[in-house]
Structure 1
């Protein structure tokens, strides 16, 4: 069952205040005048562990390019990367994004548990390009809204030519800390007592919460328009999979985006 809920969260900041000063953008090689603006619409579970899906959306604006050769790379709503360091195949930099909320009205199983507020995510990443394979690790911590802790993703990706251009395949796993597991998978005694679904109390510990496989591709439609395609499958594991909140351990994600490249001039 699908429901339509479009949330507008800015995934990048046009003023680049995340770095403190707009001039720093030129130092990082963003080009200073070329930008991309667009939007992303994606189908995702209503909440992590849900069996029902919904449509969400978000606009973005960022320095030109969101691909591998750009210093700005979009990996997901909570993973907009800024490549600040690049040396002999190694790269690293900060990232920003958004973690969506979870409403107790999203599913009958959640009623009585209360809402979990989303918010701004910040962190960093590092990767090493070793031939066709690029191992990576990234850190994502929520700064605003509820304190839902941090995630660490690690894995590898590879890029191959395919028809219109290229496709990037990614495989990896996600580690969640205690705060994240408590926010999204634990059920306290108080929540158990107020649960409309009579969920038992449950304490989820930190650990590997999922493994995932993903595909992304940019399809150039013209010199200025680019279609962005993405898909991902993840499988909840361990304490996350065993949580009474979870309806399905199999989680699917599909995204469709469109961006327009323009220049502000010198």
Structure 2
């Protein structure tokens, strides 16, 4: 998944997917320090469930330090800071990330927080730190994320992940990624619930979702090597809200599509 970092950044902002650095590692990553700098144009819903869309630039700077025996440490805007390691087909690790939250106005800037004016009266979900753990076997993995502190949702999510990568010639490589996410009651209430106070201020019907399946994600990515360290990237991802998340009164479109194209330089 390394070729798709800049798009995963925006998918995260759109609440379509969460980072998983170990799951994203490429066996071709060299020992020692390496990285990537890139820029992309991405079109995404203003928040998950929104009928409105926005096109934004997505900047990416990522660093990775890989050791022979002690795994690798990664730092980027998509998955935050993580450590992970492999033992044959088994892999696992831990991470520290940021949940950007959500605003009651339209996003703006190169790192937009999800939000829309149609959410006026719903209040702001403040950004918060997330801690996580991940483990898997080959192309299948599990990711657990928990919002910490009292700033944000204070919720937790469990995701089942799968990936299949297909090299097509010397320059082109394709990848397919899928996930299904379960969320606890706090996470569902923060992002899809409507309290009586919020209902009075926004006009949305009172809604109290239960813990359960939140969403399913599927994405297709392509990476084309132009010359030397330069490459072109493209990604399209689809998210389908499930269960009570899909039935939330703030959700106008339960299926969200995010697409992006960009250029990256690896070093």
- Structure 1 and Structure 2 fold alike (TM over 0.5): yes
* Alignment partner of 1:157 out of 160, 163, 184: 163
In the alignment, which residue of structure 2 is the partner of 1:250?
A: 255
- Deviations along 1:86-118, whole A, 9 cap, x unmatched? 112011112344433322123453111111123
1:211 maps onto 2:220 in alignment: no
Report the equivalent of 1:128: 137
Shift of 1:71: 5.0
Alpha-carbon distance between aligned partners in 2 of 1:43 and 1:184, rounded to the nearest angstrom: 21
Q: Equivalent residue for 1:91? A: 91
TM-score by length of 2: 0.73
Deviation at 1:77?
A: 6.2
Q: Counterparts in 2 of 1:87-236, with a 5 A limit?
A: 87-106=87-106, 107-129=116-138, 134-143=139-148, 145-162=151-168, 164-195=171-202, 198-236=203-241
**1:197-246 deviation line (CA, Å, top 9, x unaligned):** x2111101111111121112322222222333222111111100100010
1:38 touches 1:61 (CA, 8 Å); kept in 2?
A: no
Distance in structure 1 (CA, Å) of the matches to 2:55 and 2:128: 19
Tell me the secondary structure at the aligned position of residue 84 of structure 1.
Answer: strand
Give the number of the structure whose alpha-carbon radius of gyration is greater: 1
Distance 1:143 1:260 in 2: 34
CA RMSD of aligned residues (A): 3.1
Structure 1 runs, 4 residues or longer, greater than 6 Å off: none
TM-score (structure 1 length as normaliser): 0.73
Q: How far apart, in 1, do the equivalents of 2:173 and 2:218 lie? A: 17
Flag structure 1 segments of 5+ consecutive residues without an equivalent: 1-7, 12-28
